[in-house]
Amino acid sequence: LDYGPYSVQILGPLLVRTRGAPSFETGIVYTREIEMAESGSRVSIDQTMTNITDHEVEWSVWDVTQLQRPDWIVFPLNPKSIFPDGVNHHNDKSKESTGWHVVDDWMYINYLGDGGKLGADSHAGWIAYVKDNQIYLKTFPIYADEKYPHKGDTVEVYTAEAYIEVEVLSPLVTLGPGKSYTFTE
């Protein structure tokens, strides 16, 4: 779903729509409407996935923002987490890394090593990227009673040598043919 050309349509002075290439492997096509606030730095992104098959598909909106290595990624852990210590380690690199710390139920990550990845079932509805005294804050809805991908992750962080990914996941959704689901950040 990350590959291929996107079309761009300007809908207004502060609003654009992008449409990705259809993924015949997943049966999904993504459309995103990105709107900047008239003042300030707020941006709203409506991410819509549509089933392009003739059968039901189950999928999640999985938003990935690639950024320079941060000073920190920060998010609150779920005090009633289903994961040991509130953390879902996707690989050994994240388990062995010294680049993450939990302090008073808050996760702080600066680097997990090339290919390191971890997630959490945070129910706060936000994750922050902090660099040079600036904050990029992603906010999103949480659906506590819904099933999430990767054993329950609502947020994930992946680190590569040159960048970091701040990831937000929607609940898993079953879509009938031609049906859509929108998740807003």
pLDDT in tens, 25-68: 999 999 999 999 999 999 999 999 999 999 999 999 999 999 99
Confidence class of residue 3 from pLDDT cuts 50, 70 and 90?
A: confident
Residue 19 sits at the vertex; the CA angle it makes with 13 and 20, to the nearest 5 degrees, is: 140
In the numeric block, which tokens belong to residue 20? 């990705």
Radius of gyration of the chain (CA): 17
Query: Model's pTM, two decimal places?
Result: 0.93
pLDDT above 90 covers a percentage of the chain that reads 86
What's the CA gap between 8 and 20, in Å, rounded? 9
CA max distance for the chain: 49
Which residue do the tokens 């320079």 mark? 68
Q: Does residue 2 have a pLDDT over 70?
A: no
φ, ψ of residue 147 to 5 degrees: the values are -90, 130
What's the CA gap between 148 and 111, in Å, rounded? 25
Section 142-164 average pLDDT: 95
Q: Could you write out the DSSP letters of every residue in 135-159?
A: EEEEE----TTS--STTT-SEEEEE
pLDDT in tens, 93-150: 888 899 999 999 999 999 888 999 999 999 999 999 999 999 999 999 999 999 999 9
Amino acid type, 37: A
pLDDT at 27: 94
pLDDT at 5: 87
